[in-house]
């Protein structure tokens, strides 16, 4: 019998451990080359471990929810084509009998994210009945929407009597409904790092507001031609990325990190863009933003948004970063204090755009205004620097033609 080990792949220098999320096969299953065997959860992305050869799973050595390191054995597979020893005692199937079970389809056939698969399995939902809302993979929200659509209304016998104007009181003898759910590795890591950064960095936040009318006028004037030429929309992100690059050039301490008693000043501009994914916030990195065009930046943003949605972000997509931009405005936030993404020492928070009465050249006018928030590490960034940095971003956004020179 030719047995090979299925092992945890090499992770990255910043990710040293993973958690077994879900096995998509069981002992005795036959698998083909490329089939997804198990999903591993890391603090950044979910990794799919695939079969490098065809064979039969003979042993699973790492169970779901178990923490594993790179190189650890997850399972054993027989590649000789023989049935595993655990199957020898199974009853012989008669020729005219129908099989009672079949191997579970691989996740590559189901075209669903690992989270969506777990929710579907827990609720006995057939993923083939669900169409993805974005045309890509089925995500958790698609499964939950399908489950809700299948729920039946309560029968008349269980509904409150129409003769009484008051709802029935809850029977105190009946336990309150609760569900205990284990935190995912990503959520555990997010929780740990948020606490760590608040205890190790001297975080302060400064605020300003920016008039978005100049940028909105440019977008309205060029958005159709921009999309036709480059195949991607002209959003606000590229303007703020370029404005941040210009401000970082003027105030380099915000493009740095602390290493012991030294400060590492970075001469490149790798900007992280925070994206809300199914299992928590992820921050893919757009590299060398000072060398990219607006179209290249918008193309990267679109690519990462799709990858975050279908769970295909790689560890390389999330590695590094010198500064981060997060946009709570897409969720309706008007004001917030973003938390640093260590070891970075600066993060810019964008918020919702609202029309407000402001004074321009001595007159009260209505303008689309946005609040900006800069959180910084006061250990190496002074208050004066942080205020000037934010003013620089504001000035570049309100005079976007300067972005061609300074961004």
pLDDT tens, 374-391? 999 999 999 999 999 999
Domain boundaries, the chain: 1-82, 111-149, 203-406
The pTM for the full model equals 0.69
The whole-number average pLDDT for the span 67-95 is 66
User: Dihedral of CA 76/80/83/88: which sign?
Assistant: negative
pLDDT value at 176 more than 80: no
pLDDT reported for residue 403: 86
Label residue 203 by pLDDT band (50, 70, 90).
very high
pLDDT reported for residue 90: 39
CA distance 347 to 287: 16
pLDDT reported for residue 99: 38
The whole-number average pLDDT for the span 207-217 is 96
In 74-212, alpha helices (H): 107-110, 114-122, 140-150, 185-200
How distant, in Å, are the alpha carbons of 182, 265, 286, 307 from that of 269? 37, 11, 9, 22
Helix axes 213-230, 383-398, angle to 10 degrees: 60
Q: Tell which wins on pLDDT, 34 or 392.
A: 392
- Residue-wise pLDDT tens digits, 99-118: 333 544 444 445 777 677 77
pLDDT reported for residue 82: 55
- Name the one residue in this structure whose structure tokens are 């000035």: 395
pLDDT reported for residue 304: 94
- Residue-wise pLDDT tens digits, 264-284: 999 999 999 999 877 778 899
CATH classification code of 1-82? 2.40.50.100
pLDDT reported for residue 18: 86
Maximum Cα interatomic distance, the chain, rounded to a whole number of Å = 92
Q: Tell which wins on pLDDT, 161 or 26.
A: 26
Count of residues making up the chain: 407
Q: Which of 63-67, 210-214, 276-280, 348-352 has the lowest mean pLDDT?
A: 276-280
Phi, psi for 353 (deg, rounded to 5): -95, 120
- End-to-end CA distance of the chain: give it in Å, rounded: 62
Q: Tell which wins on pLDDT, 336 or 45.
A: 336
The whole-number average pLDDT for the span 190-212 is 90
Which span out of 47-51, 134-138, 392-396 was modeled with the highest average pLDDT? 392-396
Q: Which of 47-61, 66-80, 189-203 has the lowest mean pLDDT?
A: 189-203
Of 116, 367, 393, 105, the residue nearest 241 (C-alpha): 393
Residue 210 β-bridge partners = 370
CA distance 14 to 11: 8
Catalytic (active-site) positions: 378, 382
Say whether 348 sits in a helix, a strand or coil. strand
Render the burial of 220-234: b for 16+ CB within 10 Å, e for the rest: eeeeeebeeeeebeb
pLDDT reported for residue 98: 42
Which span out of 120-129, 137-146, 240-249 was modeled with the highest average pLDDT? 240-249
Say which residues have a Cβ less than 8 Å from residue 308's Cβ, sequence separation at least 6: 275, 276, 277, 282, 284
Label residue 166 by pLDDT band (50, 70, 90).
low
Beta strands in 122-177 (DSSP E): none
Question: Any idea which architecture 203-406 has in CATH?
Answer: 2-Layer Sandwich (3.30)
Question: Any idea which architecture 111-149 has in CATH?
Answer: Irregular (4.10)
Beta strands in 246-345 (DSSP E): 256-259, 262-265, 271-273, 275-277, 280-282, 285-286, 323-327
Say which residues have a Cβ less than 8 Å from residue 277's Cβ, sequence separation at least 6: 308, 309, 311, 313
Q: Tell which wins on pLDDT, 127 or 135.
A: 127
Structure tokens at 44: 């950044």
Question: Long-range CB contacts (< 8 A, 24+ apart) of 151-156?
Answer: none
pLDDT reported for residue 168: 61
pLDDT value at 13 more than 80: no
**HSE (side-chain half, CA atoms, 13 Å) at 92:** 2
Beta strands in 149-190 (DSSP E): none
The whole-number average pLDDT for the span 205-221 is 96
Tell me the percentage of the chain whose pLDDT exceeds 70.
Answer: 84
**HSE (side-chain half, CA atoms, 13 Å) at 367:** 18
Say whether 354 sits in a helix, a strand or coil. strand
**Mean pLDDT over the full length of the chain:** 84
pLDDT reported for residue 163: 57
């Amino acid at each position: 019998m030719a047995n090979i080990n299925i092992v945890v792949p090499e992770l990255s220098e910043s990710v040293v451990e993973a958690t077994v999320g879900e096995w998509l096969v069981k002992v005795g299953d036959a698998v083909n080359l490329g089939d997804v065997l198990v999903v591993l959860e890391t603090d950044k992305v979910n990794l799919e471990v695939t079969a490098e050869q065809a064979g039969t799973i003979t042993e699973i050595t790492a169970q779901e929810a178990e923490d594993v390191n790179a190189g650890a054995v997850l399972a054993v597979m027989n590649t000789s084509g023989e049935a595993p020893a655990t199957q020898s005692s199974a009853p012989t199937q008669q020729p005219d009998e129908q099989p009672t079970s079949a191997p579970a389809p691989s996740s590559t056939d189901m075209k669903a994210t690992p989270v969506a698969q777990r929710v579907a399995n827990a609720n006995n939902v057939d993923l083939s009945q669900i169409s993805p809302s974005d045309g890509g993979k089925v995500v958790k929200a698609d499964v939950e929407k399908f489950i809700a659509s299948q729920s039946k209304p309560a029968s008349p016998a269980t509904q409150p009597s129409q003769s009484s104007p008051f709802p029935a009181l809850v029977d105190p003898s009946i336990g309150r409904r609760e569900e205990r759910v284990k935190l995912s590795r990503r959520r555990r890591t997010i929780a740990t790092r948020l606490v760590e950064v608040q205890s190790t960095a001297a975080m302060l936040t400064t605020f300003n507001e920016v008039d978005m009318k100049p940028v909105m006028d440019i977008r309205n004037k060029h958005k159709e031609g921009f999309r036709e030429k480059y195949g991607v929309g002209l959003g606000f992100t590229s303007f703020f990325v370029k404005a941040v690059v210009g401000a970082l050039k003027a105030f380099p301490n915000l493009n740095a990190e602390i290493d012991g008693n030294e400060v590492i000043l970075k001469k490149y501009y790798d900007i992280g863009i925070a994206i809300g994914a199914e299992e928590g916030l992820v921050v893919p990195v757009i590299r060398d933003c000072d060398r990219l065009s607006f179209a290249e930046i918008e193309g990267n943003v679109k690519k990462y948004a799709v990858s975050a949605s279908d769970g295909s972000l790689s560890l390389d997509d999330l590695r590094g970063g010198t500064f981060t931009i997060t946009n709570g405005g897409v969720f309706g936030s008007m004001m917030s204090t973003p938390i640093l993404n260590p070891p970075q020492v600066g993060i810019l928070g964008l918020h919702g755009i609202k029309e407000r009465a402001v004074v321009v050249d001595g007159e009260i006018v209505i303008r689309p205004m946005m609040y900006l928030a800069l959180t910084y590490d006061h250990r190496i960034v002074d208050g004066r620097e942080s205020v000037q940095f934010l003013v620089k971003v504001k000035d570049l956004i309100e005079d976007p033609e300067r972005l061609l020179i300074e961004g």
